[in-house]
Amino acid sequence: MTRTEKLLTELIALPSVNPAFARQSRASARHASFAQFGEKNIAEFLASVAARASLEVEFQTVLPVRFNVIAHLLPQKKARQTILLAPHMDTVPAEDSQFIPRRKDSRLYGRGACDTKGSIAAMLTALCELAESRSRPRETEIVFAGLVDEEHAQAGSRTFVRSSAFRQIANSARRPKAGLQTALAIVGEPTKLQGITAHKGSLWLQLETRGKAAHGAMPHLGKNAIHKMANVVEALETDYAAQLRKHRHPVLGRATVNVGSISGGAQPNIVPDHCTITIDRRTLPGETDAAVRREIDSFLKSKHLRASISSIKLAPAPPFESNPNLPLLGQFLRSIGQRRPAGVDFFCDAAVLSAGGIPSVVFGPGDISQAHTPNEWISLASLERGKNLLLRFLNSLP
């Protein structure tokens, strides 16, 4: 068993389900326990691993009993650039059995195996091996930041970007000398070891139609809000979706819309006076939440349809895009053998860190198609290769 696999095995065995999912987990899972929720145990474990490698460790309080864990590898001389390794520690819900790591056919199974405890294991193992070697960078500070709450509202990354340590890094990045890039964030997510330079944003909206209640035996006396909404859903899933397909981003492709839930009415013999749907609109760089809301409102009016529109995201989840020609980002892509920029459809902490002022790239072992599944797994070959690619890049830094 490699050092990376051992660390990942230990991480899977430490449940760290995001507490935001506690209510739904207890209602639906057969074996959900209070001990599953929160990142405290995993944060303290990572701090002990980092301390054994002589890294400087601190905790950053985000929410009650939830904190980011920050580990620093200081350079031998004054730092002139900073690399931030930023995976998240929380996972989506699981049954207790999914926190028992299982190895089978060169795969490691368990909740968080790829999303994103695999990235944690690869990043922290690479950093510890670098710290224990004689070839640590002389002028590059490397910071590991295990973040909380990515799966819900990204409170960990949002708190981190407001910290004085982050602002110092970001301010340096905004004032590069002689065209040099002085900071890069590598955000841990399962990307099949691709360097991801762009991802879509995620805008969640609630649309509501209103009608007039009446007895179901005399529906002509009422106005059916569900019928109104049916026309809205049909228009969004056909004509509006087709409208989105006319515009294409060179890396991310097209924006999308999905009607994810619908609710309305009380019982069969009452004409419903209200109906709501929720939609997920994936946005592209250059689109804003406000502009998209106006776009949908204008589209519905052009179809002579009416619905009130409100946002239901706890925090903005904008699209993200980094310039692949930035020096440090380009160096990273070359070190992993990648020639072209790449994008993904899902949202992650990269958008928050990038908006905070540090150019970012998303990278990690594993495949996003395995994330959130009952039998989540990661290829052990991908895990080890991810660690080695990160170590190669870190060793190349001055």
pLDDT on residue 27: 47
pLDDT on residue 352: 98
One domain, residues 232 and 248: yes
One domain, residues 11 and 108: yes
Paired residues of 277 in beta bridges? 207, 262
Q: What are the backbone dihedrals phi and psi of residue 10, each rounded to the nearest 5 degrees, phi first?
A: -65, -35
> What's the CA gap between 319 and 283, in Å, rounded?
6
| DSSP state letter for 345 | S
One domain, residues 240 and 327: no
One domain, residues 144 and 247: no
Along the chain (398 residues), what's the average pLDDT of each consecutive run of 10 residues?
Answer: 98 96 60 74 98 97 96 92 97 94 97 98 98 90 98 97 89 63 95 98 98 97 98 98 97 98 97 98 97 98 98 95 96 97 98 97 97 97 98 96
One domain, residues 271 and 193: no
Decide which of 282, 311, 340 is a domain's last residue: 311
pLDDT on residue 62: 97
Q: 285: domain CATH number?
A: 3.30.70.360
One domain, residues 304 and 361: no
Contact 86, 116 (CB under 8 A): no
One domain, residues 61 and 180: yes
Tokens representing 151 are: 């799966």
pLDDT on residue 176: 53
One domain, residues 206 and 195: no
Tokens representing 143 are: 């910071």
Continuous H helices in the chain: 3-12, 22-28, 40-52, 117-132, 155-161, 164-174, 225-235, 241-244, 289-302, 327-335, 350-355, 380-395
Q: What are the backbone dihedrals phi and psi of residue 239, each rounded to the nearest 5 degrees, phi first?
A: -65, -40
Decide which of 311, 335, 366 is a domain's last residue: 311
pLDDT on residue 340: 95
Question: Which residues lie closer than 8 Å to 46 by C-beta, 6 or more apart?
Answer: 69, 71, 89, 120, 124, 146
pLDDT on residue 241: 98
> Could you list the residue range(s) of the whole structural domain that residue 260 is in?
201-311
Q: How many CB atoms lie within 10 A of CB 78?
A: 9
pLDDT on residue 168: 84
Q: 120: domain CATH number?
A: 3.40.630.10
> What's the CA gap between 240 and 301, in Å, rounded?
12
Decide which of 279, 311, 343 is a domain's last residue: 311
One domain, residues 47 and 146: yes
One domain, residues 83 and 178: yes
What total of structural domains would you count in the chain? 2
Cα-based distances in Å from 43 to 126, 173, 246, 354, 364: 18, 28, 45, 24, 19
pTM to 2 decimals? 0.94
One domain, residues 128 and 194: yes
pLDDT on residue 46: 98
One domain, residues 260 and 276: yes
Q: What share of the chain is helix, strand, coil (3-state, %, to 5)?
A: 35, 25, 40
pLDDT on residue 179: 57
pLDDT on residue 181: 77
Q: What are the backbone dihedrals phi and psi of residue 165, each rounded to the nearest 5 degrees, phi first?
A: -65, -45
pLDDT on residue 57: 98
pLDDT on residue 230: 98
